[in-house]
Structure 1
Amino acid sequence: MTLKNYVDLAPKSGGEGWKLAFTTNAMCAYEDETGKDFTSVAGALAGAGEGRISMRVMRTILWAGLLEYQEGTTMRDAGEVLDACGMTQVGGAIAAAIRLAFPEAKDSSGNGGKAGKAAPGKVEEPTGKS
């Protein structure tokens, strides 16, 4: 049995929609594009819940989430999806897709750093040297 790792996103006017997924590659694409850790998305989404979020940030988060199932998606495409679906639906879909990506986390507000157990041992950052 294959688990669904995406959220369906449908335009307000009906018709064909999109699949939104935050896979490892999607998260890395976000980090490559912004220079920020993917963990910064939680703060951005918290701001969205209070009516404060940069449209560029929202579009970039959406863009990264669209890449897995809509290969070649551009920032312009992501902006058009945002226009077609609206901020409320996109924000909810992003939150749901992140929950699918991190099923062990209890909720998007965090759980005291207890999202999952890491394997014992030291983890080193890659140095770029082989």
Structure 2
Amino acid sequence: MAETIKGEVAFKAADQNWKLVYDFNALCTIEEELEVDVADIGEQLSKPTMIRSIFRIGLAAHHGALSDLEAGRLIHDMGVAEAAQVVTKAFVAAFPEAKVVGSAGGKAPAPKPKPAPKKPGTGRKR
């Protein structure tokens, strides 16, 4: 279905095959046009206008420049919830390391250093 290594997600809408991608250029366009930090995209996906614009920008690499109205028609055809899922999948594919936030990325954490051994004593308290 998708080339997730490249951050691409394929989907079907309006009886056509489409591909959404959030590459470096798409991320720059999001920041420039929408005046939003890419790190804050998750918070922005609750706004319909933001979903539509982010969706449009993700389509540009493979389908050329679309208007927000054209992107909105695709979203309407496939459903808002499915469109939001496709956007989310594409962002996760673009940033696979973000899936493991707070973990060691599948590797065991480095062991904590052990305290220095105590000097042997006589066993009597001083």
Instruction: Sort the Cα spacing of 1:113 and 1:54 in 2 relative to 1 into closer, same or farther, 3 A.
Output: farther
Instruction: Look up the match of 1:17.
Output: 17
| Cα-to-partner distance string for 1:105-130 (whole Å, 9 max, x where unaligned) | 225xxx24988xxxxxxxxxxxxxxx
Which residue type is aligned with residue 34 of structure 1? L
Rg comparison, structure with higher value:
2
Instruction: Look up the match of 1:81.
Output: 74
Which residue type is aligned with residue 59 of structure 2? L
Tell me, yes or no, if the aligned pair for 1:9 and 1:85 is still in contact at 8 Å. no
**Structure 1 stretches of 4+ moved >2 Å:** 2-5, 112-115
CA displacement at 1:5 relative to structure 2: 3.3
Tell me, yes or no, if the aligned pair for 1:26 and 1:65 is still in contact at 8 Å. yes
**Consecutive unaligned residues in structure 2, runs of 5 or more:** 106-126
Aligned length: 102
CA displacement at 1:9 relative to structure 2: 2.0
Instruction: Look up the match of 2:84.
Output: 91
Tell me, yes or no, if the aligned pair for 1:62 and 1:78 is still in contact at 8 Å. yes
Q: Normalising to structure 2: TM-score of the pair? A: 0.70
Aligned-pair identity (%): 26
RMSD: 2.3
